[in-house]
Structure 1
């Protein structure tokens, strides 16, 4: 995998008001993009790499710019988290996004996007339930040492869960390091490392991909957006509790995760 230029858009500038895009705008934009891709070849790459695909360009410049503006606007409301020896950074959950950045929610539900992801994964996909704060979220690496250590994105759903990681901003030395095939004894492990430029994507099955984000240096910033899709939205109650506690402690805070129990505030 090759190196890619990072964004030259200034993050530190005061956030300007973000105009609401026309209803449904993300869907035709995504449809135009995927119509130009060699989807069968990308599907073959995804299978060969054990449910992993990286594209350095995917979203159109207009949609990417919209995500950059939203990332700036939402930064003051992020929840900082720190797990000694494993991770530190900031997160903005789907609940805040629903209130302040509906463009992201519309992009998440794009029929063109979901249809393309189904072709690549070979699975019928559904959006996550409304109560899942992890369904779509922004992740910020804005302080020296922000990172996440080696892990799998363990799914507590009854079916498979796919992660679509979208680059928003990268003015950092952070890298997505990964290892393919670690849970397939018939195929040798295959290490890799990428920096995802704005508008680029990584698609993977989180239960199969071992990965990490390397630490940010001083005065660096990296922001990514993740979408989660499932083959079965069912989840056993005790696994739902474990999933909620993990999200509350490691990502979004108790108020965001358990907002329904707190009156939705």
Structure 2
């Protein structure tokens, strides 16, 4: 069941929306390289490993980039697809296909070579972009109505390799928490609970198959929006796994029209 989200007026964390001027790939990589060079990457890599493939950085994005993401939220609000699954989730989503049209900065940020190379240094894996037909490759997730939440789950990879999740805080005028459990699949270790309320510009990164997590329910007069990037180690997916993934995305996130959209050509239309 889905419908369109009701627009919510919310303060923008004291930031002014940045005009939708397109940044070049060189500009994005240059800015991110400068920001990432200031981080203690070897220490963060060790922390990531010790926590069973999980890392949180509170102040990650340059302020200008956070402002651009906040502006993207307001630009895409009319396109939010809301879903409700009793006992599991309620909220709204905007897929990468819509973001390509309404918020191209997000797509450019996702593809940044500087960001991907730094994530590879953290994980030790060679990372690839999710395929162009994957609506989850980059997406905005909206919590705008009291009770919006998502229950305990893993970001299960239907690809033949691993799938990594990167979460970026965009708007957080809420009491929601990202609850998580580390080491649920680490042999010889007990699960370690934790929670974080990540603000605009914050960074959460983990192996989707290893971190059990949830988002607690939204309260009255609150709003929370986060951005997700998905990177993979192998972009191949078997047909049956593709079917399962598409059905889950259609029902729980983006709607059938976005997930089963056809590209131009003899097999369909744009």
| TM-score (norm. length: structure 2) | 0.91
Alpha-carbon contact 1:126-1:232 (below 8 Å) kept: yes
- Distance in 2 (alpha carbons) for counterparts of 1:98 and 1:10: 25
Q: 1:212 aligns with which of 211, 214, 221?
A: 214
1:263 Cα deviation after fit: 4.2
Alpha-carbon contact 2:168-2:226 (below 8 Å) kept: yes
- Distance in 2 (alpha carbons) for counterparts of 1:264 and 1:217: 41
Q: 2:245 aligns with which of 243, 246, 255?
A: 243
Alpha-carbon contact 2:17-2:67 (below 8 Å) kept: no
Aligned twin of 1:54: 56
Aligned twin of 2:5: none
Structure 1 pair 17–204 and aligned structure 2 pair: CA distance change class (3 A): closer
1:18 Cα deviation after fit: 4.0
- Distance in 1 (alpha carbons) for counterparts of 2:187 and 2:114: 35
Q: What SS does structure 2 have at the residue aligned with 1:187?
A: coil
Q: 1:193 aligns with which of 192, 195, 199?
A: 195
Gapped regions of structure 1 (runs ≥ 5): 1-8
Aligned twin of 1:93: 95
1:26 Cα deviation after fit: 2.3
Match status 1:30 vs 2:32: yes
Q: What SS does structure 2 have at the residue aligned with 1:149?
A: strand
Alpha-carbon contact 2:128-2:235 (below 8 Å) kept: yes
Match status 1:21 vs 2:26: no
Alpha-carbon contact 1:26-1:63 (below 8 Å) kept: no
Q: CA RMSD in A?
A: 1.7
- Distance in 1 (alpha carbons) for counterparts of 2:192 and 2:174: 25
Matches for 1:142-221 after TM superposition, within 5 Å: 142-221=144-223
Structure 1 residue ranges (4+ consecutive) displaced by more than 3 angstroms after TM superposition: 15-18, 261-265
Matched pairs, number: 255
Structure 1 pair 17–119 and aligned structure 2 pair: CA distance change class (3 A): closer
Deviations 1:231-251 (A, max 9, x none): 000100110111011000000
Q: What SS does structure 2 have at the residue aligned with 1:243?
A: helix
Q: What SS does structure 1 have at the residue aligned with 2:235?
A: coil
Gapped regions of structure 2 (runs ≥ 5): 1-9
Deviations 1:151-204 (A, max 9, x none): 011000000010000000000000000000011231121100000110000000
Alpha-carbon contact 1:167-1:196 (below 8 Å) kept: yes
- Distance in 2 (alpha carbons) for counterparts of 1:29 and 1:197: 21
Structure 1 pair 193–131 and aligned structure 2 pair: CA distance change class (3 A): same
Alpha-carbon contact 2:17-2:68 (below 8 Å) kept: no
- Distance in 1 (alpha carbons) for counterparts of 2:197 and 2:21: 29
Structure 1 pair 124–40 and aligned structure 2 pair: CA distance change class (3 A): same
